[in-house]
A and B are shown apart, each in its own frame.
Chain A
Amino acid sequence: MSKGVVLVVDDEPPIRDILSFYLKRADYQVLVAENGIRGLEEMSKLQPDLIISDLRMPEMAGDDFCRQVKANASTKDIYFMLVSALDGSMSKIGGLNIGADDMISKPFHAQEVMAKVDSAFRIIAMQNEIKRQNVVLREFQDRVNGEMELAARLQMGLLPALPGIAPGIQYTHRYLPADGIGGDIYAIAPLPDGSTALMIADVSGHGVTAALISSMVKTSFESHLRLSLDPLAWAVGMNQDLSRNTLAEQFATAFLAHLDPATGKMAYVVAGHPAPFKIPAGDSGKIGKPEQLSGKGFMLGIDADLPFTSQHADFHVGDRLVLFTDGLDEVERENRTYLGEEGLMGFCEDLPTDAEQAAIQLIEQVKAFNGPATFSDDVTLVVVDRVD
C-alpha cells in the first residue's frame, strides 16, 4: 500500500519525471499533470493528499491553481506545495498568502523536496487523526445531547400535569432548569381522605446528579404519603431516605404541606427551603397582602437523626400560596445585588387573580429586575389557589 497520493503539476516533463521517480521510490502513489487545468482534471478522478505544483505554467498557473484548490470546501485541506524560482515572480510570503502550505524554491534538490514531502505527510497524518477524533467527539456529544433531551422530557413528565386541579386547589407552575435537566422538583397528590399533599424541593447542585436525586426525592415523598397524613412524618421519613442514599454533601431543601379543604387548615414543614408566601383572599375578589409562612428547619439528607418540626396555618377559599426555589430570587445582578425573598414578596403584592397570569407576571417582573443577568440555577415557581 502506498504512503499517500501526490499530484505533481509542472509544464516541464523532466521535472515531473524526476519528482515522480523519487516519490514512487519512497512508496507514494503519483499523479501528474502539465498545468493547473489538467491538475484539476486529475483531482476529479482521484483526490491527492498532497500537491506539488510549479508556479509558472501555461493555461493555468500555480497561484491560480492553488487559489482554486483552497477555495473549494472538498479540496481545501489538501496540502499544497508551490514551487517557484525566487526571481521576484513570487515571494515565499506571497505564496503562503494565497493559501499554499509550503514553498519550494527552484532550483531544488530532490532530497530536499522528499524531506518536505515526508514532513508534510506527518502533518497530514496528524490532521487526519484530529479530524477522526473530532468525528468521534461529535458523535459522542450528539449522543449525550440526545440522552439529555430525553432525560429532560422525562423529568418534565414527573411534574404535575397542567392546568392542575386537586381537592380544594387549582395550580400552575413554571419550571426552568439551568442545564436542561435540574434538581428542582415539586409534586401535588390527592390523598384518599379528600385532602391534598404538596411538596417542593431543591436538590443541592444542578445537572444530572441533582436530577437523579430529585426523582429519588419525589419517589420518597410518594412512598411516605401512603404511610401517614402528617407532613412531619413525611419529612422525617424523607430525611432518612436521603441521608442513607446520597453522598454527604448532597441534600435537598423542601417545603412539605398537607392541605385539608374540609377544615381550611394546612400543616407544613419547612426543611431548609425558602418558606412560601401566602396571599390571603382580599375584599371584593381582590387579593390581599402577601406574608411569608413562618418556620424553618434542617434540609433533608444531612443526617438521618436530625429533628424536624411542623407548623400550622389557615388556608381558606380565595387564599393563594406562592412556592418557589431560591434560583428565582438569588440571581446576582450586574451591581452584585440580589432580589431576595423580600423583593420577591413585594412583586406578589399586585398579582392578577388568575394563577396562570400571576405566574407569567411574576417571572417577567423578576427577569426585568435582574436586567441582563439570566437565571443561573434551576428555577421553579408554583402558584396554588384555594378554591371551592
Chain B
Amino acid sequence: MLNIQARQEGNAAIVTIQGKVNFEVTAQLRDVIRDTVAQQQPKLLVINLEGVSFIDSSGLGLLVAARNSVDKSSGKLHLCGLPAQVKKTFDQTNLTNYFSIFTTEQDALRGA
C-alpha cells in the first residue's frame, strides 16, 4: 500500500510518501509529483521518504526525473528521512551524491 500526501509550506512543496515504492505504484506517484511541480512551481520540493519500506529501480528513476523537472524550473529538490533500507539502495547506486539528502523534514526545509 502506498500513501502519498502533498502540502505547501511557504515557497516549498512537501510530498510525503509511505509504503513500498515499486513498479506498480510509480504512475500514481509520478502524477502527484508532476501536479505538485506544475501547480505550485515550488522553489523547493521536499520529498519525505521516512515511511518508505522499499524502493526499487523504477522508484529511483522517478526521483531522478523529479530532480530533472525541478531543475528545469530553477527549483531545488531535497530528500529527507531515508530509512536504512532505502539509504542502502541510495549508497549502492551513488545517488547519495546525486541528491541533496537531509535527516529531518525541518532540515530539508531550511536547506541546511
Contacts and interface: CB of A to CB of B under 8 A. Distances in A.
Interface of A: 202, 204-206, 247-251, 253, 272, 274, 296-299, 302-303, 306, 326, 330, 332, 336, 377
Count chain A CB atoms within 10 A of each CB in B57, B64, B68, B69 and give the residue with the most.
B57
Interface in B47-65: 53-54, 56-58, 60-62, 64-65
B92 A296 contact: yes
Contact of B58 (A249, A272, A302, A330): A249
A247 B56 CA distance: 17
Given A206-B23, A330-B56, A377-B56, A250 B92 contact: no
29 contacts: A204-B57, A204-B60, A205-B26, A205-B57, A205-B58, A205-B61, A206-B23, A247-B65, A248-B68, A249-B30, A249-B64, A249-B65, A251-B57, A253-B93, A272-B92, A272-B95, A274-B92, A296-B92, A296-B93, A296-B94, A297-B93, A297-B94, A298-B94, A298-B95, A298-B98, A302-B64, A302-B98, A330-B56, A332-B54
B31 interface: no
Given A302-B98, A330-B56, A250 B93 contact: no
A299 B93 contact: yes
A296 B53 CA distance: 22
Contacts of A377: 23, 56
Contacts of B68: 248
B64 A253 contact: no
Contacts of A303: 98
Contacts of A336: 53
Contact of B98 (A274, A306, A332): A306
Interface of B: 20, 23, 26, 30, 53-54, 56-58, 60-62, 64-65, 68-69, 91-95, 98
Main SS at interface, chain B:
helix
Contact of B57 (A202, A247, A297, A306): A202
Count chain B CB atoms within 10 A of each CB in A205, A296, A302 and give the residue with the most.
A302
Contacts of A326: 56-57
A298 B56 contact: no
A279 B57 CA distance: 27
Given A248-B64, A249-B65, A205 B95 contact: no
A146 B94 CA distance: 40
A299 B60 contact: yes
Contacts of B62: 249
Contacts of A332: 20, 54
A272 B61 contact: no
Contacts of A253: 57, 93
A205 to B, nearest CB: 5
**Closest 5 interchain pairs by CB?**
A249-B61, A272-B93, A249-B65, A248-B65, A204-B57
